[in-house]
Amino acid sequence: MYHKYNNIEVIIIAKATLKSIPVSQDEIVDLQIESMAYDNAAVARYKDFVIFVDRGAPGDVVKAQITTLRPNYARAKIVEIKTSSSEYRIDAPCKLYKVCGGCQWQHLPYEKQLEQKDLLMEQFTSRLQLKNGVVKHIVGVKDVIASEAKQSRSHRQEQIEIASSQQVAPRNDIWNYRNKVQYPVRTVESTGRLKAGYYEWHSNDLVNIKYCPIGNELFDSVVETVRELAPKYNIVAYDGKTKKGWLRHICVRQALSTGATLLTLVVINEKLSRSQDFVNELINKHPALVGVCFNVNIGTTNVIYGPKTHVIQGNGYIFENIKGINYKISATSFFQVNSIQAEKMLDIVDQLAPLSGDEKILDAYSGVGLITLYLAKKVKKVIGIEEIKQSIEDAEFSAKKNNLSNACFINGKVENKIEDILENEKPDVVILDPPRGGCSKTVLQNLLDSKCNKIIYVSCNPATLVRDLEILCENMNPFEIQSIQPIDMFPHTYHIESVVSLERNKK
């Protein structure tokens, strides 16, 4: 993914020829770090040539070894930190930080993480331009909203009591915030024990994680129990090369509002000898588990989940309450990983789409209906489009549970469904919340051709956001950007969520 960022980064840098590159492969050079990049690296320049330094921090003066060489940039690893700024570099609290690919910015104080995300958003949006080269002026890029709790004192105390009853630490604002983990697994041949965790950065080497500071501590305990029980029940990690083994991923998710926790094991088949005994041991040790599922994935891609999920015991879903709406979330359904920040995101959407109560809303890429059902309380009708059938089923169940009869959902790809909905329903506001790849050109062109005057674009990738905004704002009868509000959904990582308000240019 960083390659996409680099492609944007080097737009403002004169393209270098191989002869003019001032560094060579494996060379060690002295560098001063300027700022953070949109990945695990920081930005330095050597004779005006950009070098991305893994795990660097602004203010560092380092010796770094060139590891990757390209015509327009290089990557390097730190050999020695000669000096550093105490304002920008701290000791990362996670012992696995230097090898784990899960977090990239733990070595920065949180307020500096926010500062650097503000700078990155400025860099991305400053490159937003029309095809004729005219820079698109944006007056509404706001500071990133920090991950600070927005809860009543009584609600926060309730979460503390729930956590205490489960003998785990309560989730706070920048640590233990993830409501889901998905760990790939490997079996150690010499011991038969399972390894489970994240991969090293740009590597297939698996880091065995016993404690993850951005996840819920209960997740660590549940995963450890699966490790401990694996030899007893002959559970072996699946090896894609030999086609042997059974277990592919360990996935745990929890509802912040209730503490209800769901364990899903992604496996090659649902056949496990003494599976009920195995599950009974898990639930006896972890009463917060409301269900254990086996999801069957026989595919050869890097997609985690397969099409079929078998509930072995309990429920195959949990309920999360966000701003008074009870959302059903099944084992394989997508939901925002930071529940506290998801509430703030809904507030932002609400503020940017002032509603009178008589509007029709189209929510593209609606998932389990996080935005759809929240807005259903405020408008005449809301329509969600979602490709994943399980998410549609969850959303429809939640609509009935919350008595929201004005919310309806359509199963299918957005690019295949949006034209008819725009033509027949004529929504007043369109919500776009695509995956990291952004929207297809078909979707964007349908919006340009429609009579819709208002778009709220929720993005988790500034690079594809800028690409899509250029299309929406540069064609005939284009939209204009009213504001861009970043929000920090993922503390200690480089990821940035943004909510963008666009209105049709009526000139």
Residue 329 lies in a domain: no
Q: Which of 263, 292, 322 is the last residue of a domain?
A: 322
Phi and psi, residue 277, nearest 5°: -65, -45
The CATH number for 58's domain is 2.40.50.140
The pair of structure tokens assigned to 256 is: 């912040």
309 and 228 in one domain?
Answer: yes
Single-letter amino acid, residue 287: P
| 272: enclosing H helix or E strand | none
158 and 265 in one domain?
Answer: yes
Q: Rounded to whole angstroms, how far apart are CA atoms 467 and 412?
A: 24
Q: What is the DSSP letter of 19?
A: G
Q: Which residues pair with 145 in a beta bridge?
A: 487
Q: Classify each residue of 144-155 as buried b or exposed e, where b means 16 or more C-beta atoms within 10 Å of its C-beta.
A: bbbbebeeeeee
Q: What is the DSSP letter of 468?
A: H
Distances (CA, A) of 340 to 155, 176, 433, 486: 12, 11, 18, 15
226 and 137 in one domain?
Answer: no
| 106: enclosing H helix or E strand | none
Catalytic residue among 251, 293, 452, 460: 460
CB-facing half-sphere around the CA of 224: CA atoms within 13 A: 11
Residue 111 lies in a domain: no
72 and 175 in one domain?
Answer: no
Q: Which of 290, 322, 354 is the last residue of a domain?
A: 322
Q: Which residues pair with 68 in a beta bridge?
A: 75
205 and 183 in one domain?
Answer: yes
Q: Rounded to whole angstroms, how far apart are CA atoms 100 and 82?
A: 24
Residue in 141, 40, 126 with CA at minimum distance from that of residue 466:
126
Phi and psi, residue 86, nearest 5°: -65, -15
The pair of structure tokens assigned to 135 is: 């820079």
Single-letter amino acid, residue 486: P
Q: Which of 287, 322, 357 is the last residue of a domain?
A: 322
Q: Rounded to whole angstroms, how far apart are CA atoms 303 and 299?
A: 8
482 and 371 in one domain?
Answer: yes
pLDDT tens series, the chain, 507 aa: 333 333 333 333 344 455 579 999 999 999 999 999 999 999 999 999 999 999 999 999 999 999 999 999 999 999 999 999 999 999 999 999 989 989 999 999 999 999 999 999 999 998 887 554 444 455 568 999 999 754 433 444 454 344 444 444 444 589 999 999 999 999 998 888 999 999 998 888 999 999 999 999 999 999 999 999 999 999 999 999 999 999 999 999 999 999 999 999 999 999 999 999 999 999 999 999 999 999 999 999 999 999 999 999 999 999 999 999 999 999 999 999 999 999 999 999 999 988 999 999 999 999 999 999 999 999 999 999 999 999 999 999 999 999 999 999 999 999 999 999 999 999 999 999 999 999 999 999 999 999 999 999 999 999 999 999 999 998 777 899 999 999 999 999 999 999 999 999 876
The CATH number for 492's domain is 3.40.50.150
Q: Give residue 156's pLDDT.
A: 40
Q: Catalytic: 408?
A: no
318 and 170 in one domain?
Answer: yes
Looking up tokens 């369109």 gives 430
Q: Rounded to whole angstroms, how far apart are CA atoms 409 and 385?
A: 6
On whether the CB atoms of residues 481 and 506 are closer than 8 A, the answer is no
Looking up tokens 């700022």 gives 35
364 and 446 in one domain?
Answer: yes
Number of domains in the chain: 3
Residue 212 lies in a domain: yes
Contacts of 7 (CB under 8 A, 6+ apart): none
Q: Rounded to whole angstroms, how far apart are CA atoms 271 and 177?
A: 34
Residue 333 lies in a domain: no
Q: Give residue 160's pLDDT.
A: 39
On whether the CB atoms of residues 313 and 365 are closer than 8 A, the answer is no
Q: Rounded to whole angstroms, how far apart are CA atoms 426 and 447?
A: 11
Q: Give residue 507's pLDDT.
A: 66
Residue in 246, 191, 255, 187 with CA at minimum distance from that of residue 218:
255
Residue 94 lies in a domain: no
Strand duo 289-296 + 61-69: pairing = unpaired
445 and 366 in one domain?
Answer: yes
424 and 301 in one domain?
Answer: no
346 and 288 in one domain?
Answer: no
Q: Give residue 140's pLDDT.
A: 67
Residue 130 lies in a domain: yes
Residue in 376, 238, 216 with CA at minimum distance from that of residue 288:
216
275 and 208 in one domain?
Answer: yes
The CATH number for 164's domain is 2.40.50.1070
Q: Rounded to whole angstroms, how far apart are CA atoms 62 and 18?
A: 25
On whether the CB atoms of residues 484 and 141 are closer than 8 A, the answer is yes
Residue 331 lies in a domain: no
The pair of structure tokens assigned to 406 is: 């004005």
Residue in 147, 16, 111 with CA at minimum distance from that of residue 73:
16
Residue in 259, 355, 263 with CA at minimum distance from that of residue 316:
263
Residue 100 lies in a domain: no
Q: What are the CB-based long-range contacts (under 8 Å, 24+) for 232-241? A: 233/272, 233/273, 233/274, 233/277, 233/278, 234/273, 235/194, 235/272, 235/278, 236/187, 236/192, 237/185, 237/186, 237/187, 237/194, 237/195, 238/267, 238/268, 239/187, 240/300
Helix (H, G, I), strand (E, B) or coil at 84: coil
Domain that residue 138 falls in: 118-147+338-504
Instruction: State pTM to two decimals.
Output: 0.90
On whether the CB atoms of residues 497 and 460 are closer than 8 A, the answer is yes
